[in-house]
Amino acid sequence: MSTAVISRRGMELLLYLAPVTLFYVVFLILPYLMVLRLSFFQFSPMHLYIPEFTWANYAAVLTDRFYLGLLARTIGLGLLVTLVSLMLGYPLALKISRAGPAMKSVLLAITLSPLLINLVVRTYAWLVLLGDTGVVNHWLQALGVTAGPLPLGGNMFSVIVGLVHICLPLMALSLVGVLERIDPALFDAAESLGASRGRVLRRIVLPLSMPGIGAGSLLVFSFTISAFVTPALLGGNRVTTISTLIYEKFTFSSNWPVGATLVVFLLVINIAVVILHGRLFRED
């Protein structure tokens, strides 16, 4: 193949990629660079920030117990939501992958239905369900299960419920694609050799579905630690995450440099998770 042909194909590829590259540079990379630059500025109550270089914002986040606890709480929330979504999503994905065409369509429609409703609407629906005078507490008291309302809303429990409701379709769909590619002949061969269903699940299905588990966990964890609407509404003023504190720093306290520093930390956590996922689930 001549050099001219290679050069022409290279130019065509660049022309195809130019609009997408320009979009990401203008609307993603440049804003993050601006936030990174802002994180090294000094805070000023009068002018929001002073453009003088300092490491004080990063030192404050890495040494202050409040910020360290906030980072640990956010990461713990992400891990817990990921675990619960996996425990609920795996049986659902397994059922969808083994169902017939008609039942599979019905199950997929039910699984995708939460994604068809606006995020804010879904969150307010959980407020109605889990509030002190909400539907769940009303039913529990009407049935005589509880004498008074249970503290189901405005705490970490309600935040986890809301996030799992949002993230469950992401986990299930990531698993369905992998489970459908497993050869059914493997199940027949294992059962013909006397393996029980539990053993087939542990020794065959679970190891072969690890790429789907990894992809779903990555999506759920990254979404959870970056979520703002659900923790802000369902958690009230009693549940603080990195995202809600970033909002508070950029609006109420107007400490933009520290807010930008928290944005950088959140981005670093997400990048680290992506790198870890690539190493753990790398296909040789």
Identify whether the C-beta of residue 227 lies closer than 8 Å to the C-beta of residue 243.
Answer: yes
Query: Who's near 170: CB < 8 A, 6+ residues apart?
Result: 85, 216, 219, 220, 223
CA 70 to chain centre: 17
Structure token pair of residue 198:
């539990």
For the chain, domain boundaries: 52-280
CATH class of 52-280: mainly alpha
Distances (CA, A) of 79 to 71, 86, 219, 280: 12, 10, 12, 16
Estimate the crossing angle of helix 56-63 against helix 65-98, to 10 degrees: 70
Identify whether the C-beta of residue 167 lies closer than 8 Å to the C-beta of residue 223.
Answer: yes
The total of other beta-carbon atoms located within 10 Å of residue 77's CB is: 23
Identify whether the C-beta of residue 160 lies closer than 8 Å to the C-beta of residue 243.
Answer: no
**What does the alpha-carbon distance between residue 77 and residue 22 come to, in Å, rounded to a whole number?**
35
pLDDT given at position 34: 93
Query: Who's near 245: CB < 8 A, 6+ residues apart?
Result: 70, 259, 262
Tell me the sheet residues that pair with 44. 48
**What does the alpha-carbon distance between residue 140 and residue 147 come to, in Å, rounded to a whole number?**
8
Q: Low-confidence residues of the chain, pLDDT below 50?
A: 1
Q: Which secondary-structure segment (H or E) carries 50?
A: strand 48-50
